Structure 1
Amino acid sequence: MSAAVSIHQGKLEGDEQNGLFVFKGIPFAAPPVGARRWLPPEKPAPWTGVRDARRFGAVAHQNKMMLTALSAMVVDGEQSEDCLTLNVWTPALDGKRRPVMVWIHGGAFTIGAGSQSIYDGSALARRGDVVLVTVNYRLGPLGYLRLADVTGGKIPSSGSEGMLDQVAALEWVRNNIAEFGGDPGNVTIFGESAGGMSVGTLLAMPAARGLFHKAIPQSGACHTGAPVARANRTAERVLSKLRVQPGDAAAIRALTPAQLLTGTLLEDGVTPDPELGMAYQPVIDGTFVPRAAIEMVADGSASGVAVMVGSTLEEWKLFSMMDPSLHKLNRAGLGARMSRRLTAEAADSLIDSYAKARAQRGETVTPAELFTAIETDRVFRIPGVRLAQIQPRHDARVYSYLFTWPSPAMGGALGSCHALELGFVFGTNQMPGMAAFAGTGPAAEKLATQMQDAWLAFARSGDPSNESTGSWKPYDEGHRSTMIFGATTKLEDAPRDEERRAWDAVPDKIFGSV
């Protein structure tokens, strides 16, 4: 059955599906094509008549993603530079002011889309009587390639155009979500991986101030951002690989998306260039992102925003599967790997601390397991912990979680890996292709209920306490209360604190990126 709504741009026709109203592919900004490529998003043009909003819009240009074995994670559909659309699930098109939850997908700022079926908003919208929004934003070289300096200003891209797309989507929500039964004064942003890092960046961005009121960064927080010098080196290397002179703006503009996508790959056109690491990420440009996000949050950029932050226990095990040399790693090799990020002395101290803490808990202490545990914390857990430590200075509503449920896939080798919590949060853990990854049975369904209820309670009131999960105390440095989501969900003080303390002397710049 069709459903209609009128917004600022014009009329939309969506679908009524099992008691929900669903609108897809709504443009929240003008297509960033032609002369608009590499520029901040512009306001969307109005239309006459009724726009069909029953199908997802095109996805941002991207290379093939790694989780294609999981059908729920596959990015389907046409790829286009004209990708700035969002999708809305709502229980009713009325004047009721429901909490609004805006999802920012992950994917290393290079892959993903708001249309991935794992992010279907039906379960959350229905269970919590909320309005659920998922968004697309420009990815990779079209969203995060800084060209302003290397082209002498001929192409003025800051390297944070993808972040500005997210701001534009939030502005659209502020201006239009009431027509979908949502409350523009109660907006929660949440995202995982690069989406969580995006949430952490939005906490710092002046342009995003006031556009949201609560934030849930999952597996990523406020430590991911490239200084201008690094962003410029990336741009130079990308252009060199594409055999284009930095000063030749016309030649750069003439590059096709397919050509641009090869700019961080090795000669085989598939393997990422290890020297570039996480090549595309928000740029700390002094304007849109004035300083490192964690510094700005410490100074109060997110004052008045409630935060719920956390990670999975064994994030890096997902990436370890793609590192065939890891099982051959010895102690010397582990020290060498960590010394690329820290001094040799600091690396040795960190490794010893992890080995001691894990041995005391009866956990494996092979070099491969130690590397996985250290990278899990360096890239994902500790950034969340540090955000939880500083935000209470500006708002007492700060909550911490740790997801420990293990995946049954590959004989349990994935553990509680990166992205595993997504199906539980969205209630899509039972979708085709998800059972082998997320697990099934009464315990899995109980966990999904607990996580959805916590996320929904937080979006409603800023406090995730609820009947199925129980009372959840705010985070403070005295107790470090953390909700453990797993086979047994419980509130625990200072989990794995030995490892957290091992990072105390390590500066913020070490965290949150690869």
Structure 2
Amino acid sequence: MTTSQATTQSAQYATVSVEIEQGTLRGIVIDAVSSFKGIPYAAPPFGELRFQAPAAPPHWVGERDASQYGPTVPKPPYPKPIDEILPEPSIDGDDVLNLNVWTPAGATGGLPVFVWIHGGAFVNGTGAVSTYDGSNFARDGVVCVTINYRLGADGFLLLDGAPANRGLLDQIAALQWVQRNIAAFGGDPTRVTIGGESAGAMSVTTLLALPAARGLFRAAITESGAGHHAHSAETAAKVTAALAQRLGVEATVAGFGGVPIPELMDAQAALSRDIAKMPDPTKWGEVAGNMMAFEPCIDGELITRLPIQALADGASADVALLTGTNTDEHTLFLVPTGIEDAVNDQALLYILGSLGADATKAVAAYREGLPDATDGQLFTAALTDWFFRVPAIRQAEARAVHGADTYMYEFAWRSPQYGGRLGAAHAFEIGFAFDNLDDVNLLAATGPNPPQSVADTMHAAWVCFVTSGAPGWPVYGEARTVRVFDTDSRVVTDPRAAQRQIWDGIR
């Protein structure tokens, strides 16, 4: 990399140039960190390339400005009021399959690499979210990469004549780009760790299960997402048919390709609302349980079975994994919306029974662990376990059989927002893991002055894992060792065992 001086109206900074396979990039240097943003790793997925596998990225002559984030993929806004808690940008343009790189200024090679795959239920999100800024990973000697990938119908709708799981194919294309180019930024392509949160973590677990992704990374981090989420081809076909009917088009590439993107976004959102109003498993299959109309599907080619089944058979047992969840995941979805307040004892028993549990025993176990909780809070705790915590445990258990190095954590710091009722909600750990508590876009989630000590401890563990393949506490095994991140961070064994056991043989 070569460095020169440049000046803008608002600040003085250095520019830095790097040569990659497509041409020369011009990034910027701030506080001894070089950043390069909006780098295309594949061609724009529009026109003839829409609903197709990612195509080769563009080349250019001269220097390409890489000082600003690139376009985001088409996506709807988060529903209110979650959009205020998890703000994210929308940036117009065609080069949506882009990524961003942060690296120590002057890095010459051999550094570990962390590639972040964002969450958002496979319909929202972007690598340009400010909380994902990788400067502090670079400060600590890690090359950090964040990516975009296609979402919603463009990324995951099952269509005849089009490859399935296009969003996952995008992720693989981005990882292949990293293999070919990251050395130019000082990174070591043999020391890549992939990580993600929520749908990003589900993506990471899926990549762990895929032969097509073998060799693209040596370690993985999954935050609040595991290997239980993939549609059957039958369910995916039902979603396709329902969306086509709503739009009044043929369920084909040509039919959906003729729909203006804003209209398609509106139809996706309306379909999701319809499913939420009447979550009938006989009509919607797996979607009735997880409320994600668009996600990877078992197409028989790229994905042949649920990721958890592949892990149970030993897939990626040679890849170290750091996995975990937040104590109060589901408060994000149930407290701001008022749903938690509407749950009574009858609803609690019905929903727990519908999830396969012995409802009476389940309520008793959760009430014993949370004696002062309302029915709604017990419901939130049970859903957190069913959707997030227990699948993460099953992932660790499956890998332990094969001697795979797996480390488990729990993020437990309680946000003061919503009168303290959000607690350690879904996605709230990200700013701590990235050590970005000064990000103004976190205020609605964390409130003012979140504890920097928790970020120091958690971020250090992430850096340690990316660098060495171990975060600093024992692997998950018979003792069920878990590192808890809070103002009194500690190592515990088998937390909330009685609630975990409720789901044995069920989840």
Letter of the 2:428 counterpart: L
Secondary structure in structure 2 of the residue aligned to 1:183: strand
Alignment match of 2:194 (pick from 189, 204, 208): 189
CA, structure 1 residues 272+57, in 2 after alignment: closer, same or farther (shift >3 Å)?
farther
Q: Deviations over 1:231-280 (max 9, x none)?
A: 11111111111111336x5332211211211223339xx95641452101
Q: Which residue of structure 2 lines up, in the alignment, with residue 199 of structure 1? A: 204
Amino acid of the structure 2 residue aligned with 1:375:
L
Matched residue, 2:258: 254
- Deviation per CA, 1:124-180: give whole Å up to 9, x if none: 210x211000000001111011112xxxxxx3231x111111111100111100000
Of the three residues 339, 342, 349, the one matched with 1:335 is 349
The aligned residue for residue 163 of structure 2 is: 157
* 203 and 499 in structure 1: CA distance in 2 versus 1, 3 angstrom threshold: same
Indicate how the Cα distance of structure 1 residues 144 and 436 shifts in structure 2: closer, same or farther if over 3 A, else same. closer
Q: CA deviation at 1:93?
A: 4.4
Query: Partner residue of 2:84?
Result: 69
One-letter amino acid of the counterpart of residue 452, structure 2? E
Letter in 2 for 1:356: E
CA distance in 1, matches of 2:486, 2:295: 31
Q: Give the match for residue 4 of structure 2.
A: none
Query: After superposition, where does 1:131-150 map in structure 2 within 5 Å?
Result: 131-148=143-160
Structure-1 separation of matches of 2:385 and 2:104: 38
Return the match for 1:449 from 433, 447, 456: 456
State how 1:367-406 maps to structure 2 within 5 Å. Answer: 367-406=375-414
Deviation at 1:378, TM superposition (A): 1.0
Q: Is the 8 A contact 1:103 1:189 kept in 2?
A: yes
2:368 counterpart of 1:356: yes
Matched, 1:263 2:267: yes
Question: Could you give the per-residue CA deviations for residues 425-450 of structure 1, whole angstroms, max 9, x where no partner exists?
Answer: 11111222434532555x81111000
- Tell me the residue number matched to 1:103: 116
The farther-off stretch of 109-118 and 47-56 is 47-56
Match of 2:185 in 1: 180
The Cα offsets for residues 271-321 of structure 1, whole Å up to 9 and x where unpaired, read as 564145210111111111111000001112212100010000000001012
**2:207 aligned with 1:224, yes or no?**
no
Q: CA deviation at 1:336?
A: 2.1
Shift of 1:501: 1.0
> For the Cα contact (< 8 Å) 2:87–2:441, is it kept in 1?
no
The 8 Å contact of residues 315 and 417 in structure 1, kept in 2 or not, is answered as yes
SS of structure 2 residue aligned to 1:237: helix
Deviates more, 1:96-105 or 1:426-435: 426-435
Q: 1:183-332 maps to which residues of 2 (within 5 A)? A: 183-246=188-251, 249-266=253-270, 271=273, 273-274=275-276, 275=279, 277-332=291-346
Pairs aligned (count) = 480
The CA deviation at 1:352 is 2.9
For structure 1, which runs of at least 5 residues remain unmatched after alignment?
149-154, 466-471, 508-514
* Contact 2:40–2:97 under 8 Å retained in 1: yes
Equivalents in 2 of 1:483, 1:440: separation in Å?
A: 25
SS of alignment partner, residue 308 of structure 1: strand
Structure 2 partner of 1:486? 486
Moved more, 180-189 or 329-338: 329-338
Q: Which of 418, 425, 431 is matched with 1:417 structurally?
A: 425
Q: Which stretch has the larger CA shift, 316-325 or 431-440? A: 431-440
- Is this contact kept in 2: 1:92–1:180, CA < 8 A? no
Give, in angstroms, the shift of residue 88 of structure 1.
0.2
For the 8 Å contact 2:29–2:105, the answer to whether it is kept is no
CA distance change for structure 1 residues 209 and 347 in 2, over 3 Å: closer, same or farther? Answer: farther
The range that moved more, 393-402 or 230-239, is 393-402
Q: Distance in 1 between matches of 2:149 and 2:404?
A: 31
- Mean CA deviation greater in 488-497 or 425-434: 425-434
Q: Once the two structures are superposed, what CA deviation does each residue of 1:56-104 show, in whole Å capped at 9, x if it has no partner?
A: 110011111244324xx43224245531000000003443210100011
Residues 2/488 of structure 1: CA separation in 2 closer, same or farther (3 Å cut):
same
Equivalent position amino acid for 1:255 in 2: V
> CA separation of 1:121/1:13 partners in 2, compared to 1, >3 Å: closer, same or farther?
same
1:27 to 40, 52, 62: 40
Residue identity opposite 1:183 in structure 2: D
Task: Name the SS for the 1:434 alignment partner.
Answer: helix
CA drift of 1:36 comes to 1.1
Q: Secondary structure at the match of 2:439?
A: coil
Instruction: Tell me if structure 2 keeps the 8 A contact 1:305–1:395.
Output: no
Relative distance call for 1:436 and 1:408 in structure 2 (3 A) is farther
Conserved 8 A contact 1:201-1:222: yes
2:114 alignment partner, SS class: strand
CA–CA distance in structure 1, aligned partners of residues 91 and 273 of structure 2: 23
CA distance in 2, matches of 1:265, 1:432: 28
Report the secondary structure of 2:192's partner residue: strand
CA–CA separation in structure 2 for the residues paired with 1:437 and 1:266: 27
Whether the aligned pair in 2 keeps the contact of 1:304 and 1:394 (CA below 8 Å) is: no
Task: Give, in whole Å, the separation in 1 of the partners of 2:93 and 2:233.
Answer: 28
CA contact 2:84–2:444 (8 Å) conserved in 1: no
Given the superposition, is the C-alpha separation of residues 198 and 419 from structure 1 closer, same or farther in structure 2, using an over 3 Å criterion? same
Partners of 2:414 and 2:423 within 8 A in 1 = yes
Query: TM-score with structure 1 length normalisation?
Result: 0.89
The one-letter amino acid of 1:124's match is F
In the aligned structure 2, how far is the partner of 1:46 from the partner of 1:487?
Answer: 48
- Secondary structure of the residue aligned to 2:96 is coil
Distance 1:39 1:433 in 2: 34
Q: Is the 8 A contact 2:428 2:446 kept in 1?
A: yes
User: Counterpart of 1:510?
Assistant: none
Q: How far apart are 1:55 and its partner, in Å?
A: 1.3
TM-score normalised by L of structure 2:
0.91
Q: Which runs of 5+ in 2 are unaligned?
A: 1-13, 280-286
